[in-house]
């Protein structure tokens, strides 16, 4: 674990691989980590023995933010995960559904182009605009329309992404439960979870109570 402190992780792992070979075992606190650094070893892990490595690590952010890890990203490989994947492929990512969202994609592209045109001569944060474009397109595809809390929802998704990308030392010592509170990560995750959950609950209830919603969306077909 101490090998990774104070330097760029990918450079440290490269140097360790030069010394110890293409497959290494690192002990990060209470967590065992296998590192592979060659195409042949990557093929062994990702293809030949894919099922043995298919499950995701059990992280606090997955447990708290995604309903005890029951989403498709953090749930362990098994019957439940396969069923979730099947639902996504058939109900959300089928060729028919993807094609049905083409008008949404075209409209969002139009809005983005109009924004760039209206901002002629001004400094524009392109990264922010691309993120806004993709997030708005996903929200409209999922929920069937632009909803009143969409901007807040997108900001919360960004916050959730930051929490997932961040380093939490407590995840390396899962038996020491107090570390999650001491490091402050648990409170941040729960705040994001409650805020996201409230918005999603409102959207679901609105769809259940309104039979005349316009547009096309994933929830309209559920």
Q: How many domains is the chain built from? A: 2
Same domain, 128 and 183: yes
pLDDT tens-digit series, residues 32-50? 889 999 999 999 999 999 9
Same domain, 137 and 31: no
pLDDT value of position 106: 92
Same domain, 120 and 179: yes
In a domain, 158, yes or no: yes
Compute the distance between CA of residue 196 and CA of residue 174 in angstroms, rounded to an integer: 25
Same domain, 127 and 192: yes
Same domain, 24 and 106: no
Residues of the chain above pLDDT 70, percent? 92
Same domain, 118 and 176: yes
Residue range of the domain that includes 14 = 1-53
pTM of the model: 0.74
Same domain, 124 and 20: no
In a domain, 201, yes or no: yes
> 3-class DSSP state for residue 48?
helix
In a domain, 188, yes or no: yes
> 3-class DSSP state for residue 26?
strand
In a domain, 63, yes or no: no
pLDDT tens-digit series, residues 55-85? 888 888 889 998 888 888 889 899 999 999 9
pLDDT tens-digit series, residues 131-150? 888 888 888 887 777 777 88
Taking the C-alpha atoms of 216, 217, 219 and 222 in order, what is their torsion angle to the nearest 10 degrees? 60
pLDDT value of position 81: 92
Same domain, 12 and 107: no
Same domain, 33 and 104: no
Compute the distance between CA of residue 191 and CA of residue 66 in angstroms, rounded to an integer: 13
Same domain, 35 and 128: no
Local confidence band at 6 (pLDDT 50, 70, 90 cut-offs): low
């Amino acid at each position: 674990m101490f090998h990774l402190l104070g330097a760029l992780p990918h450079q440290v792992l490269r140097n360790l691989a030069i010394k110890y070979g293409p497959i290494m075992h690192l002990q990060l606190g209470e967590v065992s980590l296998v590192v592979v650094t060659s195409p042949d070893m990557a093929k062994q892990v990702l293809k030949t023995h894919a099922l043995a490595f298919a499950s995701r690590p059990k992280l606090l952010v997955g447990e708290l933010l995604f309903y005890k890890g029951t989403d498709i990203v953090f749930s362990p490989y098994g019957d439940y995960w396969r069923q979730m994947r099947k639902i996504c492929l058939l109900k959300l990512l089928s060729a028919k559904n993807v094609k049905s969202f083409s008008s949404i994609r075209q409209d969002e592209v139009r809005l983005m182009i109009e924004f760039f045109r209206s901002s002629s001569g001004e400094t524009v944060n392109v990264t922010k605009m691309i993120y806004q474009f993709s997030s708005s397109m996903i929200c409209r595809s999922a929920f069937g329309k632009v909803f009143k809390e969409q901007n807040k929802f997108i900001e919360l998704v960004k916050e959730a992404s930051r929490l997932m990308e961040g380093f939490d030392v407590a995840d390396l010592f899962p038996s020491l439960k107090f570390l999650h509170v001491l490091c402050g990560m648990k409170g941040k995750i729960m705040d994001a979870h409650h805020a996201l959950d409230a918005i999603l609950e409102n959207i679901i209830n609105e769809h259940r109570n309104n039979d005349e919603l316009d547009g096309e969306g994933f929830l309209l077909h559920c």
